[in-house]
Structure 1
Amino acid sequence: MRASAFKFQTRWASDEANCPNPSELQKLKKMRNIGISAHIDSGKTTLSERILYYTGRIKDVHEVRGRDNVGATMDWMELEREKGITIQSAATHCQWGDNQINIIDTPGHVDFTIEVERALRVLDGAVLVLCAVSGVQSQTITVDRQMKRYNVPRISFVNKMDRPGANPFRIIDQIRTKLKLHSAALQIPIGSEDSFSGVVDLIRMKAIYNEGERGVNVVEKEIPENLVELAQDKHNELVECLADVDDEIADIFLNEEKPTAEQLTDAVRRATIARKFTPVLMGSAIKNTSVQALLDAVCAYLPNPTEVENYALDLHKGEEKVALIPYSNQPFVGLAFKLEEGKYGQLTYLRVYQGCLKKGAFLTHAKTGKKIKMPRLVRMHSNEMEDVDYVGAGDICAMFGIDCASGDTFTDGQLAYSMTSMFVPEPVISLSLTPKSKDTANFSKALNRFQKEDPTFRVHVDSESKETIISGMGELHLDIYVERMKREYNVDCVTGKPRVAFRETITQAADFNYTHKKQSGGAGQFGRVIGRIEPMEANEEGESVEFVNEVVGGNIPSNFIPACERGFKEGLEKGFLIGHPVTGTKMILKDGLAHAVDSSELAFKLATFYAFREVYKQAKPVIMEPVMNVGITAPVEFQGAVLGSVNKRKGTIVDTEVQEDYFSATCEVSLNNMFGYATELRSATQGKGEFTMEYKTHAPVLPYVQEELIEEYRKKREAENK
């Protein structure tokens, strides 16, 4: 949970006295915790590889997809190297000058969005990578939304400047219009496409080139004559853009003075940290051009841990919000943000927000109060690790031997603090999974591990068919886990046809007054519940169901209220239209009646369950289906055929854009209508079209579709009951 960094700087100026060690303060000021995020195929992992090479973290450069039989350092999983995509976020650290940079490289595919979510939750800044041709795409918009959710300042890097059709200024316009960010270029390209050879630094007004093997030598020269006028125009544009968000530059601009390079650098830093401005740099990672300038910008413009305010909730003071102090002499507070099963047991990634961590120390789990000894502390470099004895405030590390869940808070026992967890989206697709062999032990072990690692991967057993059902963010997401089960646990599985994760919800309020009564000799069952159910919107954490107890006077004894809530929650598990979970529903329990002998927890749980089932139909329930944001790119000659295919699938075309020979379309289509679209698009575009798909929301199905789904569910139930 973060607040404005602007307010924060004022606070830290008066709070530095809390730091007893000047060298620690200097170390914190030289630390950067950053993430690298992008739409798939923007060159993000290639950029990470070049960063590690130029900082001396690795001795040689390897390519994505393992084309050189090695593969990119940060894509360490065999599956990642085969498919050429990042599946899991990977952490590393490196030195650039006297700055320490902790980096998390995240996936670009929408199916693995939770990896981006949990990385951004614990980072202080980010680099948003965009393709110089494709620009802002569907996952770019998703990542932008995630960065805004966690108030993460960012630098934008326009990559692939060597590609035909590269146009950084069009991309900057898209950043401004599609992402609604106040942005300006800090550089302009020298040459374009195949002739791209360097950049002009618009702050210092110098040309920057990369020379030597793999561009290791950065050479500074005068601006080429043919670019002097453009460079001056873009320099003026940068000054005007900064004048809109920074008072110091505004005063200089209004006085018709020229800001110095130092004044501009300071203004870019202030405005970036305050999230009022996004600087845009450009280069080509694959051509080893302008990556060092990006590293300079990370250190110059993104915040250090003392410039971002993080909060915890004080559990002893009614979850009062308290600011954390990122100094090692404070009581320890850390957040577990990612779990991984390694050959030495569970590996837990941790961000240290306050205090320090020492090997062998005892940690207290904030939720359970349980004390745990930490036997091993490491720092990560992709899938390699370095044992360390100590990690200070602001740093990122990993630890073994700690049993916890992603999002858990740890302290040293001095404070009852808990940090807010990350947003976890609901799964949109499911399929049945059956092991071919009888090795159910490994099957269960794999499912348990995957669920623990990934909050968006869910498993349940269908109560009617007794099938194991896995749910996730897309077909690729589930395919990867099925493949991992085969490779890592030697369990081959048969998968069923993908199913859409429908939801049910109510559209109006309805009152209930239900008595559950059962007598069969001896003590019976009696419970009466009175109240109402009503629709509700999801809160900030994505929760869309709620149980509210308004019973007064003891008509329902307080020890039976939790049983009432359990009855309501059980009713939500399977809706009464098509058996899918119910969301967007609040139950308010107002009154009831208990019997001195026959009332029990079971009686009130059943009373609430049956009351919910009875009143459900009166609340006008509807079936909700996942609606997807679909981004399509194809040659312009196929535009008519592509848009026609979207209309045929009852999609809504939100936006279209033509870029020379290609066009892109943004559409909203129900997931149920998207099955088989990859084949149709290939056919309609002679294999030249591609699309991405990301969950947007759940929306009511059309009335005739609801009738069909209810009838299909009825027939299925009849067949199972024969």
Structure 2
Amino acid sequence: MSTAAAPSPVGKNAAPILEEARNRRTFAIISHPDAGKTTLTEKLLLYGGAIREAGSIKQRKAARHAASDWMAIEQERGISVTSSVLRFEKDGIKYNLLDTPGHKDFSEDTLRTLVAADCALMVIDSAKGVEEQTEKLFEVCRMRGIPVITFVNKYDRPGMDPLEVLSNIESKLGIHPVAAAWPLGYGTDFQGVYDVIGRKLHLYIKASHGAREADTEIFDLEEGVANAQLSESVKEAFMEECELIRDEFHEMDPDEYNTGKATPVFFGSALSNFGLDIFLEHFRNLAPQPQRYTDNTEQLRSLDEPFSGFVFKLQANMNPEHRDCTAFVRVATGKFERGIEVKVDDLSKKIRMTSPHTLMADDRSLLEVAYPGDIVALFNPGEFKIGSTVYKGEKKKYDVIPLFTPEHFIKASSKDPFRRKQLREGLQQLSEEGVVHVFEVPNGVGNELLLGTVGVLQFEVVQHRMLAEYKVEMHYTPVPYHTARWLPENEEIISKLKTAFSTHVTFDLDENPIALFDSAYALSQAIEKVGEENLFKFKR
């Protein structure tokens, strides 16, 4: 339980900080693979004025890659494998958009990113409805207690009718879907979207390849339907549906939305830009302002306290020509200024932040100030780790990002024995980024390391980046571990498990102990020996 809010400091800086915070919206985009998340991300940047022309990875005619898919492997495969941090401003509101990996194997990066977001935008394919990865990510949002806003995409293709989509969302996620917009026609007949909130019908003219904003005509409902080039039966069905849903949004309980029991649902097409103007117009009021975080003393910190934040992501070698490492910090309290001196976790020395940046994927621009909700990219001098707290003044610590348990393991070595040093250095850096868990091999030889990931495809990313960035060609050997659990730093428990049936105890590069089990039976035996409360699926 959180204690009462800390008293706000008295001073001339408090009011401007709170005013700036009110103008921030920090959100993550989540979806199943191929639901159109990356395309939607680009279109939000287009409508927000951050880019002049969209370059969807699905639309090769533009001969550009998506702005958010900046890593070489992402551009090659057409998928997002790491979270990108993007920023744009529209109508006085500064949006911090966290574009997360859609592939199921990269859910760990997504889970960490959701800690830095105040709400989530859930993208659903109109033909497929709620899919497996969407369900998993939604559960994380529910666990975190953040609101979820839904965008049903690809309505310019054949798919479910909108009432069926709402039913699908409710049955799969157990959340009440509330129509905030409604499509007029679908597939090749998709011509417009009714703005349920604003009570207006938007009719669209498709732009070339969706590279620019769609031309739009806005009407009262009846007049707009009369102007639509659709059959009378389609128009009649649309009017009947609008009668059913037109008051739902206005009757939605705000508490249900804020607690994740209800989700506003928008319909459209990110590819052709239909419905995006309506979504963005209302997103600024639906997305919450920056939340307040509870520190490790259970104190709810005020937004206008002196600066503090936490590292939720590390990204090495964004410039492959240099061995750089960038730390992404979510500002939790106060005002961050370029040149500020901060402390990190328990380190006594101060570090001056001379070159903070904001990012458009890998395109950096110098940042002078930042406020609660903002994401700051900092050069990592080697002191930051995922979960580190950065602060000025009174010491603070946010224990908000757990260690997730790896599900897949391999032994890794360098094919060239003379590059063992580079192997360890590279894997150390990828481990600090959270790309892979790195362990000493139980009873292993010195030139091997044990790698653990949440998804199998992460091993491919590790292999790709080690070769591209460290010139290390890796050799993988499968290992038979069935499952794993993090352990407390307790010598008695560790000693008991070292002698347990088909159980192997080792440590990661930060000396966190973990038990590896050959089978489900071995795990059950370990539970009997030390108790389930001492075997963690995740560890803070």
- Measured in 2, the distance between the counterparts of 1:142 and 1:18 equals 44
Moved more, 451-460 or 170-179: 451-460
For 1:331, which of 306, 322, 328 is the aligned residue? 306
Change (3 A) 1:215 1:386: closer
For 1:384, which of 353, 357, 363 is the aligned residue? 363
Q: Which residue of 1 aligns with 2:119?
A: 125
Q: Which residue of 2 aligns with 1:569?
A: 494
Change (3 A) 1:175 1:19: farther
Deviation of 1:47 (Å): 0.5
Q: Which residue of 2 aligns with 1:215?
A: 213
Identity of aligned residues (%): 24
Moved more, 208-217 or 27-36: 208-217
Q: Which residue of 2 aligns with 1:616?
A: none
Higher relative contact order structure (alpha carbons within 8 Å, sequence separation ≥ 6): 2
Q: Which residue of 2 aligns with 1:311?
A: 294
Note the alpha carbon deviations across 1:258-316, whole angstroms, 9 max, x for none.
Answer: xxxxxxxxx5xx653343421000111112211222212220211112xx332223xxx
Give structure 1 stretches of 5+ with no counterpart.
247-266, 314-318, 504-542, 548-564, 584-620, 626-696, 699-722
- Is the Cα contact below 8 Å between 1:129 and 1:159 reproduced in 2? yes
- Measured in 1, the distance between the counterparts of 2:206 and 2:47 equals 12
Deviation of 1:241 (Å): 7.1
Note the alpha carbon deviations across 1:199-258, whole angstroms, 9 max, x for none.
Answer: 111233321133374334332123315546644644544635764x53xxxxxxxxxxxx
Q: Which residue of 1 aligns with 2:403?
A: 424
Deviation of 1:191 (Å): 1.2
Q: Which residue of 2 aligns with 1:512?
A: none
- Is the Cα contact below 8 Å between 2:205 and 2:214 reproduced in 1? yes
- Measured in 1, the distance between the counterparts of 2:268 and 2:303 equals 34
Deviation of 1:375 (Å): 2.6
- Measured in 2, the distance between the counterparts of 1:340 and 1:207 equals 44
Q: What amino acid sits opposite 1:278 in the alignment? A: T
Note the alpha carbon deviations across 1:392-444, whole angstroms, 9 max, x for none.
Answer: 233211111442110111111x2222112223321111112221212112211
Q: Which residue of 1 aligns with 2:35?
A: 42
| Correspondences of 1:266-305 after superposition (within 5 Å) | 271-305=256-290
Deviation of 1:471 (Å): 1.4
Q: Paired residues, what number?
A: 495
- Measured in 1, the distance between the counterparts of 2:475 and 2:40 equals 38
Deviation of 1:22 (Å): 5.4
Give the TM-score of the pair, scaled to structure 1: 0.63
Change (3 A) 1:456 1:425: farther
Q: Which residue of 1 aligns with 2:425?
A: 445
- Measured in 1, the distance between the counterparts of 2:492 and 2:8 equals 51
Deviation of 1:2 (Å): 8.6
Change (3 A) 1:289 1:148: same
Q: Which residue of 1 aligns with 2:88?
A: 94
Change (3 A) 1:205 1:346: same
Secondary structure in structure 1 of the residue aligned to 2:359:
strand
- 1:470 partnered with 2:463: no
- Is the Cα contact below 8 Å between 1:65 and 1:82 reproduced in 2? no
- Measured in 2, the distance between the counterparts of 1:15 and 1:372 equals 26
- Measured in 2, the distance between the counterparts of 1:220 and 1:15 equals 45
Secondary structure in structure 2 of the residue aligned to 1:311:
coil
Give the TM-score of the pair, scaled to structure 2: 0.83
Q: Which residue of 1 aligns with 2:145?
A: 151
Q: What amino acid sits opposite 2:192 in the alignment? A: G
Q: Give RMSD over aligned pairs.
A: 3.2
Secondary structure in structure 2 of the residue aligned to 1:64:
coil
Q: What amino acid sits opposite 1:199 in the alignment? A: V
Q: Which residue of 2 aligns with 1:580?
A: 504
- Is the Cα contact below 8 Å between 2:357 and 2:378 reproduced in 1? yes
- Measured in 2, the distance between the counterparts of 1:21 and 1:498 equals 55
Note the alpha carbon deviations across 1:20-70, whole angstroms, 9 max, x for none.
Answer: 565554433222111111111110001011111122211221122683543
- Is the Cα contact below 8 Å between 1:89 and 1:104 reproduced in 2? yes
Moved more, 273-282 or 132-141: 273-282
Deviation of 1:373 (Å): 2.3
Change (3 A) 1:22 1:428: closer
- Measured in 1, the distance between the counterparts of 2:505 and 2:181 equals 51
Give structure 2 stretches of 5+ with no counterpart.
227-233, 508-519, 525-535
Q: What amino acid sits opposite 1:49 in the alignment? A: E
Deviation of 1:457 (Å): 2.6
